[in-house]
Amino acid sequence: MRPSFLDPLFAPVSTLPGIGPRTARHLVTLLGVDPSREPHVIDLLFHLPSGVIDRRLRPGIARAPEGAIVTLEVRIDRHQAPPRASRAPYRVFAHDDTGEIALVFFHAHQSWLDKTLPVGADMIVSGRVEWFNGRPQMVHPDHMVAAEEADTLPMMEPVYPLTQGLSGKTLQKALAVALDHIPEMPEWRDAEQARRLDWPGFREALLALHRPDPDDPGAEHAARARLAYDEFLANQLALALVRRSMRQTRGIARRFSGRLKAKILAALPFALTKGQADAVAAIEADLAAPERMLRLLQGDVGAGKTVVALLAAAAVVESGAQAVMMAPTEILARQHHASLAPLCEAAGIRLAILTGRDGARHKRETRAALEAGEIDIVVGTHALFQGDIALHDLGLAIVDEQHRFGVHQRLSLSAKGKGVDMLVMTATPIPRTLVLTFFGDMDVSRLTEKPAGRQPIKTVTVPNERMEEVIARLRAALDAGKKAYWVCPLVEESEKSDLAAAQARFEMLAGLLGPRVALVHGRQSSEEKTAAMSAFKDGPVSLLVATTVIEVGVDVPDATIIVIEHAERFGLSQLHQLRGRVGRGSEASTCLLLYKPPIGETARARLAIMRETNDGFRIAEEDLRLRGEGEILGTRQSGTPGFRIADTGTQGDLLETARNDARLILETDAELKGPRGPALRALLYLFSRDEAIRLLRAG
Ligand code: ADP
Ligand code: MG
């Protein structure tokens, strides 16, 4: 249970002055919180200023620099209303010892101005000064208060990112109250570190940022570091708890002799690369050890991750347990099934498939067989794990193309069995800091080399107007027996019209190139998709028009051409994934990026990078640079909460510190019951990582 001293921080924001239920709803997006609940006071406190306006400059009217923010003490002399029906502004003239200034208002109500700036009053005004024809003016001062209330004017004024329905003033008012009610917090930092790093406490850090002290300009940096560290520590502690509980709960030391592996290797038409062999060896060692495996297999598109996964599954099957392989799409699940089937058959492994689109009868029978232990490996989409599916003895869960899944799905999956080992596969070369923040201390295997004999893919960009030329060349290539993909973009906002565009493109190409053209898209039935895919893989179809359903993992090694229409609309990683559909065999491949001019700066940069390199790691880095981190991992789509304060880009060193501290904490106080325990538990609540608390033993 949450400690009660945190209650004021977990009150709904609508308990603050000026914030009603409507504003509270607007705040959900701004604060990036779980949309199913009203934001809490702490969420508002974590909404940090993006900058500070310094109002300390008080030069007097005559010496106010052009364009500067100044604070002036003036006496109001006269009001000058614009003539009726004129567009001219309302002017209020005021003076101090040095000169005269006009305060300028557009669309102002006279009665309000009379009340706010009464003639003869001494006022403090603060805002930006502009010199116009040699005369100073201030348009819509930011603050106007009577001279005797000077101390209510913020000399260092924080500025906040805002949203529709929320003004800066409302936010400041609510924050003022919230800041007065932050409880004293127990310190979760260890004493040694507190001595070494001169940071403020948690409460003091929030105060320093929301109420900047003009006399202590260095405070901001220390306060931000403190809060970022806290957020990293909460994150790393939670991940370490998850990882520890995954590892502790009855990991099973698998016993296998390599009998099935030998059969699979004998049936493969190629030898494993060194990277593949190393990855398999690491996985086998993990499986044989009594702890649970938690391993990430990274390998660029086409690097050959699937066979590594199969060999992992084979070891578990040989030990008498079952394995599941989860794919992000129906097509990919079917393809995995199709490519694994002959190898499984050669090894005598019983393989099945289960997806959301399967018929009720097939599902029922497959589920029953899984429960009875009559199936060794099951391939499926996430539908596989919905509902109360039971397995006889689940030993290994393999998740392909992890970046499509949220972290939560990953956790729920591992709950389906006892001591389940986990292998996560991704083609996205996630930078190390991101692996750390999202997966914690996962072991990582990398497939750095491509299988031997692969030719680089030649990439060219072509403006739309030259489509006829492209089609003519395509015809020649198809006539010569080549296979090609033609990708049409599918943008979510207007799925229907995009689908229509893909349909239209298919009809046009079929009209020109004949019956060797087929169409595949996400809205088709499973049968239609499977038919189109297998006609392309083994049958009469040599040009496959597709929406991005083919983006992830589709494997037709003798396809050597890919045309991507409206390439300017795709992100870099997506383009790289799509391009990875070719260049999978020993023949040279081509990627044609069709674009519709004019295109923007970023799109131009993306296309240039695609032309320049085939290196997935370099592309991921560029993507990170062009887009920011959240999107690379697909967290935007899956809604995984990221970081609110900490920035892995600029504060990566704090992440390392937090990671080491989290490890040390759990080594010395595994159940968080020691003297710092209550403080650390509070920390997990503050940063919404309290799910991890459930993993601590009760009591
Ligand atoms: P990805 O890593 O993108 O999932 P796949 O596992 O689909 O890649 O493999 C891509 C292609 O490379 C497949 O056709 C696969 O059969 C082939 N392949 C995998 N390993 C090797 C190897 N060692 N030598 C030659 N071809 C291989
Ligand atoms: Mg794959």
- For ligand 1, whether the C-beta of 429 sits within 6 Å is no
CA 508 to ligand 2 center in whole angstroms: 31
Which range, of 4-18, 169-183, 381-395, 469-483, averages the lowest pLDDT?
381-395
Q: Whose CA is nearest to atom 17 of ligand 1?
A: 304
Pocket perturbation via mutation, ligand 1, pick of 300, 306, 335 by most ligand atoms within 8 A of CB: 306
CB distance 585 to ligand 1 below 6 Å: no
Enter the tokens of residue 190: 């260890």
Q: Is the pLDDT of residue 632 over 80?
A: no
Ligand 1 binding pocket includes 305 (Cβ within 6 Å): yes
Contact 411, 242 (CB under 8 A): yes
The distance in angstroms from the start CA to the end CA of the chain is 11
Distance (Å, rounded) from C-alpha 291 to C-alpha 576? Answer: 36
- Are the C-beta atoms of 427 and 616 separated by less than 8 Å? yes
Cis peptide before 456 (omega within 30 of 0): no
Q: How far is the CA of 471 from the centre of ligand 1 (A)?
A: 29
Q: Which two tokens stand for residue 579?
A: 């391009």
Cα-based angle 388, 389, 390 (whole degrees, multiple of 5): 115
CB distance 145 to ligand 1 below 6 Å: no
Q: Which ligand is nearest to the CA of 332?
A: 2
Residue among 672, 220, 644 nearest 437 (CA): 644
How does DSSP assign 609-646, residue by residue? HHHH---HHHHHHHHHHHH-HHHHTTHHHHT----SS-
Q: Is the C-beta atom of 301 inside 6 A of ligand 1?
A: yes
Ligand nearest the Cα atom of residue 558? 1
CA distance 64 to 620: 49
**pLDDT single digits (tens) 601-630:** 888 889 999 999 988 878 877 776 666 544
**Is-contact 188 682, C-beta < 8 A?**
yes
Which atom of ligand 1 is the closest one to the Cα of 339?
16
Q: What is the dihedral of CA 216, 217, 221, 222, to 10 degrees?
A: -10
Predicted pLDDT of residue 408: 47
Record the tokens describing residue 388, joined without a space.
Answer: 């109360």
Q: Please report the pLDDT score of residue 417 as a whole number.
A: 63
272 CB near ligand 1 (under 6 Å): yes
Average pLDDT over residues 354-374: 89
What tokens appear for 660 in the block? 């080491």
Beta strands 322-326; 135-139: pairing state: unpaired
For 330-359, the DSSP string reads HHHHHHHHHHHHHHHHHHT--EEEE-TTS-
* Highest-pLDDT range among 69-83, 293-307, 430-444, 477-491: 69-83
- Ligand 1 atom nearest 307 alpha carbon: 6
Residue 133: count of CB within 10 angstroms of its CB: 5
Is the separation of the CB atoms in 560 and 501 below 8 Å?
A: no
* Tokens describing residue 183: 């409880």
Closest ligand 1 atom to 272 CA: 23
Name the least confident of 44-48, 249-253, 278-282, 526-530. 249-253
Q: In this structure, which ligand is nearest to the CA of 298?
A: 1
**Which residue is associated with the tokens 């800066």?**
168
Q: How far is the CA of 591 from the centre of ligand 2 (A)?
A: 19
Tell me: pLDDT of 401 over 70: no
How open is the CA angle 207-209-212, to the nearest 5 degrees? 85
**Does residue 406 line the site of ligand 1, with CB under 6 A?**
no
Which residues sit opposite 418 in a β-bridge? none
What is the 427 CA–ligand 2 centroid distance (Å)? 8
Sheet of strand 351-354, all strands in order from the earlier edge strand to the far edge: 351-354, 377-380, 322-326, 394-399, 421-426, 294-299, 443-447
> What are the phi and psi torsion angles at 690 (to 5°)?
-75, -15
C-alpha–C-alpha distance, residues 353 and 153, integer Å? 68
* Atom of ligand 1 lying closest to residue 271 CA: 23
Q: Which atom of ligand 1 is nearest to the CA of 303?
A: 2
Is the CB of 557 within 6 Å of ligand 1? yes
Sign of CA dihedral 388, 393, 396, 400: negative
**What are the tens digits of pLDDT across the range 475-502?**
999 999 999 999 988 654 455 666 677 8
Which atom of ligand 1 lies at the shortest distance from residue 453's CA? Answer: 25
Say yes or no: CB of residue 273 within 6 Å of ligand 1: yes
Does the pLDDT at position 633 exceed 50?
A: no
CA angle 470-471-473, nearest 5°?
65
Q: Atom 24 in ligand 1: which residue has the minimum CA distance?
A: 451
pTM of the model: 0.62
* 268 CA: nearest ligand 1 atom: 16
Amino acid 42 reads I
- Are 509 and 483 in contact, with CB atoms under 8 Å apart? no
Q: Which residue has the higher pLDDT, 426 or 490?
A: 426
Which atom from ligand 1 is nearest to the alpha carbon of 306? Answer: 6
Torsion of CA 631, 635, 638, 643, to 10 degrees: -140
- Ligand 1, atom 12: nearest CA belongs to which residue? 304
Ligand 1 mean position, distance from CA 303 (Å)? 6
**Tokens at 132, concatenated:** 């116009």
Count Cα neighbours of 625 within 13 Å in the Cβ-side half-sphere: 10
Q: Is 614 left (phi over 0), alpha (psi -120 to 50) or beta?
A: alpha
Tell me, in angstroms, the distance from the centre of ligand 2 to residue 489's CA. Answer: 21
pLDDT for 334 equals: 86
Q: Which mutation among 270, 339, 424 tests ligand 1's pocket best, with the greatest number of atoms within 8 A of CB? A: 270
Residue minimizing CA distance to atom 10 of ligand 1: 302
Helical spans, DSSP H, in 32-187: 41-45, 110-116, 168-180
Q: Indicate if ligand 1 lies below 6 Å from the C-beta of 226.
A: no
The residues pairing with 130 across neighbouring beta strands, listed in sequence order, are 137
Q: Is the CB of 553 under 6 A from ligand 1?
A: yes
Check pocket membership of 419 for ligand 1, CB cut-off 6 A: no
3-state secondary structure of 120: coil
> What are the structure tokens assigned to 77, written together?
């002399």
Ligand 1 atom closest to 400 (CA): 4
Q: What percent of the chain has pLDDT over 90?
A: 48
The more confidently predicted of residues 249 and 227 is 227
Please state, as a whole number, how many other Cβ atoms lie within 10 Å of the Cβ of residue 566. 19
User: Positive or negative, the Cα torsion across 110, 113, 114, 120?
Assistant: negative
- Side-chain-side CA neighbours of 62 within 13 Å: the count stands at 4
Count the residues in the chain: 699
**Reported confidence tier of residue 200, pLDDT bands at 50, 70, 90:** very high
Least confident of 116-120, 302-306, 360-364, 617-621: 617-621
Quote the ligand 1 centre to 449 CA distance (angstroms): 11
Return the CA Rg of the chain.
Answer: 31
Closest CA to 485 of 410, 540, 560: 560
